[in-house]
Amino acid sequence: MQISFTLNGRPTSVDVEPATLVAELLREQLHLTGTHIGCDTSQCGACVVHLNGLPVKSCTLLAPALDGATLLTIEGLTGDPGSNQMHPMQEAFRQHHGLQCGFCTPGMLMTAVALATEKPDLTEADVRHGLEGNICRCTGYQNIVISVMAGAAAMHAAKGE
Amino acid sequence: MGNVIGIGAAPKRKEDQRFLTGRGNYVSDIKRPGMAAGVFVRSPHGHAVLRGIDKSAALASPGVIAVLTGDDVADDGLGSLPCGWGITDAKGVPMKEPPFPMLAQDKVRFVGDMVAFVIAETPEQANAAADLLKVDYEVLPSVVGVLEAVRPDAPQLFDDVPNNICCNWELGDKAAVETAFKKAAHVAKLSLVNNRLIGNPMEPRAAIAEYEPGTDRYTLWTTSQFPHVVRFLMGALVLNIPQHKLRVVAPDVGGGFGVKQFHYGEEAVITWAAKRVRRPVKWVASRSEGYVSDRHGRDHVTEAELALDETGKFLAFRVNTLANMGGYLSTFGPNIPTNLYGPLLGGVYTTPAIYCNVKVVFTNTVPVDAYRGAGRPEATFVLERIVDVAASEMGIDRVEIRRRNMIPKEAYPYQTPVLVQYDSGDPMGCLDGALVAADVKKFGVRKAASASKGKFRGLGYSTYVEACGLAPSRFAGRLGARGGLYESATVRVHPTGQVTVMIGTHNHGQGHETTFAQIVSDKLGVAFENVDIVFGDTDRVQFGMGTYGSRSLVVGGAALSKATDKVIVKGKKIAAHLLEASEADIQFEAGKFSVAGTDRIKTFEEIAGAAYVPHNYPLEVLEPGLEEQAYYDPVNFTYPGGCHIAEVEVDPETGTVTLVNYTAVDDVGTVINPMIVEGQLHGGIVQGVGQALFENAVYDEGSGQLLSGSLMDYCMPRADHLPMMNVATHSTLCTHTPMGVKGCGEVGTIGSPAAVINAVVDALSHLGVTHVDMPATPNRIWRLLQNASLPVAAE
C-alpha cells in the first residue's frame, strides 16, 4: 500500500507491505539505519523515534500508522540531515561521555529530547524514571543521566535566547 | 593546526560524532548487491536424537534459495568448531573434547543448537520456509544443572564423556592445605551459587558473507571482538579457506562483554553458504535468538572453606567448584572456570596455602564461556564472601580482618601460592581511600535513618585483585592456550605528517579511537585530530588477537607505544642526515628533532616529507617511508584491583533491595583518559550489580527450556535501579607495561557482586542471615525474611 508522511521535515511517499514495522521501513526501505533494533519485545528502546512529536518504539508500530503523520528520526534531529551540526542533546552526550558502543544512543537521544521537551526542569529522578524504557549495557546510565540533564538545560537555554 | 592531546587528558571521543548522529556502521546496517537472507533453524529441545530432516516443503516455499543441514556439512568434509584451550587434570590427562559441529549431526544438545540454515530472497520468505522444515527428533531427558549432571543416573550428553565431566581440574598444594586446616583455630564454610548470566550487548549478533568467484576470495562481516582470530579459526580449522583468501571485517560493534569474542557456528555456516549459493547472505539474530545462542557466562556451584588462626589470619583456603560448560566447548570455555579462576583465589591476601578443584561439566544448556570478568568475578565472590563469613563468626570487624591479611604495598612483587605473581598494588591504600569516600564513619546515622522508615540498611566491602591484560603467551601456553596472546600495531606516518594506526584490538565502546590517538599524539607531538585509528578489518590491519580480558590498552597500547618508538628512532636517523649531525646527538621532543645544544631543528612533518621524497636522504643505509610495526607479548599479567563499598536498603515488606550508595576506589595503573576510565568503571560496576540483584538465566530441569528467554524475563539493570556512583582511582604503576597501565575494562564487574551481596547480608545479619545467593531478588529476600527466626520489623 502507498503511504504518505512527513519524514524529518520532508514529504515522503512509499509503497509498503502492510505488515512492515516502522523500524524495518526506516532501515530497509528508506536506508535510515540510525534507528536500531535491539530486541523483539519492545523492551530496549534502541528504535525510539518521534511520531507526531511523541516518542514511540518504532519496532512496535506498523508502517500504515504513519500515513499522514509526522515522523522524526535521529537523522533529522538537527533539522539538517546532511550536516555535522549537533542538537544540544547530542552535544551534551558528547561532552559528558553519555555513550560507549553507540548502539542504544539514537533511542536514548530521542527519548531524552522528548523528556526535556515535555518537562523543562527535569530532576535526576525524572530522568531515571523517563529512561526506564531504554536499556544501555555499557555506561551504567550515570553519564547518560548527567548528559540528559545537561542537554535539557541547554535546550531550554537555547529556546530562551 | 590542532593541539597535541596527551596522556592523562580527557578529550571528547573521536568516535562520538558518527554514533550521536545515527551514522554508525554496524553489521546489520550493511547491504550488499544481490544480498539474500538467511535464518537458522534451531533445536526446540534440550536434548534429542536427530533422526532426520525433510527439506522438501521448505525448498518448495516461495523465494527459497537453499536449505543446508549437518549432512551437507559432512558431505563437504568441513571441520567442527575448535576450542582454543586444552586443559588437563592433575595427572596431565587432557580434557574430553567432543566435536562441536557447525550444524548438528547426530544429536542436539541444547535449546538453540543449530540444525539447518535456510536462505531465501527475503527474511520473511526464509522465516516462512524455516517453519516448513520437518525435523524428526527423538526427545531425550535434559540435564541443565551441574549438581544433577554429575549424578550417576544423569542423562549423558556424549557417549565417551562419563558423568558429563569434561575435566577434573586442580590447582595448588592439596597436602599443605590439609595440614593447615588441622592447625586452624577456626574454619569458615560457605556454599554458594554463582548465577548464570546472559551478556546482552545491545546489538544482537549478525553476519554477512560474500564470495567473489573472480578472485576466489571470501568476505565475512561479523559482530566480533576479534576478526583476525575468527579468520584463523574459521579459515584454517573449520572451512579450509587459505588465510589470504578470507577477509573478516568487524565494523562498528554494539557492545561485546565477551559474548562476541568467540568463533560462532553461524559465522562458519554463512561463509560456507555464501559460496554454495553464489550470493551475499545476511543473518541478523533477534534478541530471543541471541538468548539461546550467545554464549552464557558464570554458572558455578561452589563449596569453600577458609582456615584461620586465633587472630583471624588466613592459614589456608580450599575451594571445590562445579562449573557449567553447556552442551559443547566454546572458544575459551574450559579456560574460564579454571585458569582465570583458581589463580585469583589468593585475592589481596597473604593466604599461604590454597587448593582449588574445578569439575568442568557438560549440560544441555547454551555453551558457557567468557562474560565480562570471566572467572575472576567468580573467584572474587567466593573469597570476599567467605572473608565476611569468617569475620562474622569470629567476631572480628570486616575491615579489620581484611587489613590483618592484606599484602602490604612494600611486599610487592608478591608471589601467590597459585601461580601468579602480582607486580604492584596497594590494596590498603584503596581500602583507606574508599572508607573515606564512602563516608563509612557516618554509616550508623544513615542506618538509623533507614530504620526509622522501616528499612534495613547494610554496608558491604569487596577488596579485590584481578589478572588482566591477557596474556603472556608463554604462560598461557603452559596453561593450555593453543594460540598466542600478543598484540600488534602499525604506525603509518603519511608524507604530510598525519598518522594512521592499524591495531589488532577491536573498539566496541571502549573509546580506543580516542585513547590510542592520545598515545600517538603524546609521543610524536602530532595533533590529536591528525591521528586516526583503524581496527576490525583483516585486510587493513596486519594481525591481532582482539579485545577481551582488559587487554586492549595493556597489550595493544604497548604494541602501539613500541611501534611509535620505532618511528622516532627512524626519524632521528633521517634528522641526523638532514642536520648533518651524529644520530646520538639528535633529540626528539614535542614534535621536533633537534641537535642537542643547538637551535638546529627539523619538525616531524619535515622528517615525514623527507622520508617520502628522499632526494636528500641516506638511501644507502635507510629505506624511504615512515611506517613502523611492533608486536608486543607481555611478560606477566597486569593486576588491577581496588576496594568497592556498596550500601543497600532492604524493604522488609516487599523484599526489594535498593542500591543506595556505591563507592569504588580502583588501581588501574596509569590513566590515559580519565573520562573513558570512569565510564568503563561505571559500566562494569553496573554489570556486577546486575548479577548481584537482577540477572539470572534459568533453565527448566528435564526439558532444558530456557525460562528467562527474553528481555521480558531476564531482568537487566535500568536507569531507575541505580544511584549515582562515586568512582575514583588510586594508582600504582604496572612495572612491566611500557606506560604503567593495568587495564580497566573488567574491574567494575569483578569487584561489585561481592560488595553488593555483602551489603545485603549485612542489612539482614540481625535476623541471622549469613548468606544470600545471587540475584538478591525481592522474591528471594522476602522468602528469606519469612523463614528468618526473628520478627520482620525494623529495629
Q: DSSP letter string over B242-271? A: -GGGEEEE--B-S--TTTTSS--HHHHHHH
A90 in contact with chain B, both atoms CB, cutoff 8 A = yes
Q: How far is B360 from chain A (nearest CA, A)?
A: 29
Question: Do residue B502 and residue B414 come from a single domain?
Answer: no
Q: How far is B366 from chain A (nearest CA, A)?
A: 19
User: Distance between CA atoms of B736 and B635, rounded to whole angstroms?
Assistant: 7
B223 interaction partners in chain A (CB closer than 8 Å): none
A141 in contact with chain B, both atoms CB, cutoff 8 A = yes
Shortest CB distance from A103 goes to which of B202, B511, B683?
B202
Residue B337 lies in a domain: no
A77 interaction partners in chain B (CB closer than 8 Å): 21
Confidence band (pLDDT; 50, 70, 90) for A84? Answer: confident
| pLDDT at position B790 | 53
User: Distance between CA atoms of B564 and B540, rounded to whole angstroms?
Assistant: 18
B483: which strand partners?
none
* Inter-chain touch A135–B718, beta carbons under 8 Å: yes
Residue B495 lies in a domain: yes
pLDDT in tens, B635-654: 999 999 999 999 999 999 99
Stated pTM of the model = 0.97
Question: Do residue B69 and residue B210 come from a single domain?
Answer: yes
User: Distance between CA atoms of B695 and B698, rounded to whole angstroms?
Assistant: 10
Question: Do residue B503 and residue B579 come from a single domain?
Answer: yes
Q: How far is B127 from chain A (nearest CA, A)?
A: 14
Residue B724 lies in a domain: yes
Question: Do residue B136 and residue B248 come from a single domain?
Answer: yes
Cite the DSSP H helix spans in B694-771.
747-764
Confidence band (pLDDT; 50, 70, 90) for B789? Answer: low
- For all residues of chain B together, what is the average pLDDT? 97
Give Cα B95 to chain centroid, integer Å: 23
Residue B794 confidence (pLDDT) above 50: no
B23 interaction partners in chain A (CB closer than 8 Å): 34
Q: Provide Rg for chain B, Cα atoms.
A: 28
Residue B313 confidence (pLDDT) above 80: yes
A143 interaction partners in chain B (CB closer than 8 Å): 678-679, 682
A107 interaction partners in chain B (CB closer than 8 Å): none
B252 interaction partners in chain A (CB closer than 8 Å): 101-102
Residue B792 confidence (pLDDT) above 60: no
Domain that holds residue B86: 31-140+202-255+260-291
Q: Averaged over B400-425, what is the pLDDT?
A: 98
Q: Determine contact, residues B691/B299, Cβ cutoff 8 Å.
A: no
In B508-556, beta strands by DSSP E: 531-534
Which H or E run contains B629?
Answer: strand B627-632
Residue B369 confidence (pLDDT) above 70: yes
B16 interaction partners in chain A (CB closer than 8 Å): 93-94, 99, 102
* Inter-chain touch A84–B17, beta carbons under 8 Å: yes
Question: Do residue B402 and residue B528 come from a single domain?
Answer: no
Question: Do residue B400 and residue B539 come from a single domain?
Answer: no
Residue B371 lies in a domain: no
* Inter-chain touch B202–A104, beta carbons under 8 Å: yes
Confidence band (pLDDT; 50, 70, 90) for A85? Answer: confident
* Three-state secondary structure string covering B322-354: EEEEECCCCCCHHHCCCCCCHHHCCCCECCCEE
Q: Can you say whether residue A104 is alpha, beta or left, with left for phi > 0 and alpha for psi between -120 and 50 degrees?
A: alpha
Q: Which residue of B has its CA nearest to A104?
A: B202
User: Distance between CA atoms of B385 and B190, rounded to whole angstroms?
Assistant: 8
Backbone angles phi, psi at B34, to 5 degrees: 75, 20
Task: Please identify, among B579, B611, B632, the residue that sits at the C-terminal boundary of a domain.
Answer: B632
The CA–CA distances, whole Å, from B688 to B691, B694, B769 equal: 5, 10, 22
Do the strands B114-120 and A48-51 form a parallel or antiparallel pair, or are they unpaired?
A: unpaired
Question: Do residue B666 and residue B594 come from a single domain?
Answer: no
Question: Do residue B592 and residue B689 come from a single domain?
Answer: no
A16 in contact with chain B, both atoms CB, cutoff 8 A = no
Q: Which residue of A has its CA nearest to B13?
A: A94
The CA–CA distances, whole Å, from B593 to B25, B590, B600, B604, B615 equal: 39, 9, 9, 7, 19
B686 interaction partners in chain A (CB closer than 8 Å): 139-141
Task: Please identify, among B291, B311, B341, the residue that sits at the C-terminal boundary of a domain.
Answer: B291
The CA–CA distances, whole Å, from B583 to B573, B587, B593, B606 equal: 6, 9, 11, 17
Q: How far is A22 from chain B (nearest CA, A)?
A: 16
pLDDT in tens, B108-162: 999 999 999 999 999 999 999 999 999 999 999 999 999 999 999 999 999 999 9
What's the CATH code of the domain at B541? Answer: 3.30.365.10
DSSP A72: E
| Domains, chain A, with CATH or none | 2-76 (3.10.20.30), 88-158 (1.10.150.120)
Residue B7 lies in a domain: no
Q: Determine contact, residues B104/B33, Cβ cutoff 8 Å.
A: no
Q: Which residues 37-66 of A have a C-beta within 8 angstroms of B?
A: 37-41, 43-44, 46
CA angle, residues A47, A51, A55, in degrees to nearest 5? 55
pLDDT in tens, B10-46: 999 999 999 999 999 999 999 999 999 999 999 999 9
| pLDDT at position A161 | 53
pLDDT in tens, B586-631: 999 999 999 999 999 999 999 999 999 999 999 999 999 999 999 9
Size of interface A-B (CB pairs under 8 A): 177
Q: Determine contact, residues B15/B511, Cβ cutoff 8 Å.
A: yes
| pLDDT at position B298 | 98
Confidence band (pLDDT; 50, 70, 90) for B537? Answer: very high
Confidence band (pLDDT; 50, 70, 90) for B93? Answer: very high
Other Cβ atoms closer than 10 A to B232: 21
pLDDT in tens, A93-147: 999 999 999 999 999 999 999 999 999 899 999 999 999 999 999 999 999 999 9
**Residue at B461: amino acid letter:** Y
Question: Do residue B533 and residue B615 come from a single domain?
Answer: yes
Task: Please identify, among B606, B632, B658, the residue that sits at the C-terminal boundary of a domain.
Answer: B632
Confidence band (pLDDT; 50, 70, 90) for B793? Answer: very low
A159 in contact with chain B, both atoms CB, cutoff 8 A = no
Residue B710 lies in a domain: yes
Question: Do residue B46 and residue B117 come from a single domain?
Answer: yes
pLDDT in tens, B701-719: 989 999 999 999 999 999 9
Question: Do residue B582 and residue B677 come from a single domain?
Answer: no
Residue A158 confidence (pLDDT) above 90: no
**Residue at B249: amino acid letter:** V
Residue B708 lies in a domain: yes
* Inter-chain touch B710–A40, beta carbons under 8 Å: yes
Q: Which residue of A has its CA nearest to B725?
A: A142
Q: How far is B643 from chain A (nearest CA, A)?
A: 18
Residue B399 lies in a domain: yes
* Inter-chain touch B22–A74, beta carbons under 8 Å: yes
Percent of chain B with pLDDT over 70: 99
Residue B394 confidence (pLDDT) above 50: yes
Residue B795 confidence (pLDDT) above 60: no
| pLDDT at position A160 | 73
Number of domains into which chain B is organized: 3
Q: How far is B576 from chain A (nearest CA, A)?
A: 43
Question: Do residue B598 and residue B649 come from a single domain?
Answer: no
Other Cβ atoms closer than 10 A to B776: 25
B288 interaction partners in chain A (CB closer than 8 Å): 40-41
Residue B566 confidence (pLDDT) above 70: yes
* Inter-chain touch B202–A137, beta carbons under 8 Å: yes
What's the CATH code of the domain at B134? Answer: 3.90.1170.50
A18 interaction partners in chain B (CB closer than 8 Å): none
Query: Which of the residues B15, B17, B19 would you substitute to probe the A interface, choosing the one with the greatest number of A C-beta atoms within 10 Å?
Result: B19
A8 interaction partners in chain B (CB closer than 8 Å): none
Among candidates B661, B641, B658, which has minimal Cα distance to B649?
B658
User: Distance between CA atoms of B640 and B733, rounded to whole angstroms?
Assistant: 10
Q: Which residue of A has its CA nearest to B674?
A: A97
